[in-house]
Structure 1
Amino acid sequence: MLKTKTATVTSRIIYWTQRPRCVIDKEMAQLQVTVIEAKNLKKKDTLSENDPFAVLYLDDAHYKQKTKTKQNSKNPKWNQSFVFNHLYGQDILHVDVYDEDSVKNDKIGSVEIDLRPLYEKDQWFELKGKLGLSSHGQIHLILDFERLRV
């Protein structure tokens, strides 16, 4: 951790203290993710179509955002935008797509997107199943970073 020195003058004595720099001194940006649509989602229900929604979060998973649920669709269109405060070190965007059910939501697929090389991207990403062996569909995202001035 980087440290800075500060001086305090009391009478004629100077005291030097060290305090940690705020994390804001590191690179910080605002990440806007637009979830456009998904296609060819693997069917999870035997008697009905999927009711898909997507959950997005960065590495720490403390702050998750969710799209609206689209009823009876294997090719849902969301066109929803989400904003994350992207701090230095949060390098992975996680997107999980679920089928909404009354008892338990079934995971259709997920993708982990390395943010380091993507500063403006409009791309389709493959959704992987639990073992990552086959495609469980695709999701279309637009990623847009805006550096914050501090």
Structure 2
Amino acid sequence: MGESDPFVEIHLPNSRQQEWTNVVQDNRNPVWNQIFTFNVQPEDDLIIFYVQDYDIRKNDMIGTGTVELKNVFDDGKFDEWVTIHADGSSTGDIYVVMSIQLS
């Protein structure tokens, strides 16, 4: 099986906010270690991680993972593995750390 060039699209679908990680070239076990800031709105209840394999023509979907923001609000942070699924099967996991900062 060949190497992939993974990246993650991170979405707050209800408020239509999104961010992207860097593409990690030729790596099946990427580490992004990036920080993103979202302005969470009252209608936001979910954050979605779309893990993709970068391709010049068309990116290939590796899978998606979700976190209910209630889990972040209840503890003030989230520090766990998130399972990535495609077509009903697990395609891997990503480690996600999130925290809430009120302003």
TM-score (normalised: structure 1): 0.63
Q: Tell me what 1:56 maps to.
A: 10
Contact 2:83/2:94 (CA < 8 Å) preserved in 1? yes
The one-letter amino acid of 2:98's match is L
- What residue ranges of structure 2 are gaps of 5+ in the alignment? none
1:95 aligns with 2:49: yes
Which of 2, 15, 19 is the aligned partner of 1:65?
19
The structure whose residues are more often strand, as a share, is 1
- What residue ranges of structure 1 are gaps of 5+ in the alignment? 1-45
Query: How big is the shift at 1:61?
Result: 6.2
Identity %: 32
How many residues get paired? Answer: 100
1:40-51 residue pairs with structure 2 within 5 A? Answer: 48-51=2-5
1:110 aligns with 2:102: no
Query: How big is the shift at 1:121?
Result: 1.3
The one-letter amino acid of 1:80's match is Q
Quote the RMSD (CA, aligned, Å): 1.3
Task: Describe the shift of the 1:70–1:144 C-alpha distance in structure 2 as closer, same or farther (beyond 3 A).
Answer: same
Query: How big is the shift at 1:64?
Result: 1.4
The structure whose residues are more often helix, as a share, is 2
TM-score (normalised: structure 2): 0.90
Partner Cα separation in structure 1 for residue 96 and residue 66 of structure 2: 12
Higher Rg: 1
Q: Whose relative contact order is higher, 1 or 2, with alpha carbons under 8 Å and at least 6 apart?
A: 1
Q: Tell me what 2:90 maps to.
A: 135
Q: Tell me what 1:126 maps to.
A: 83
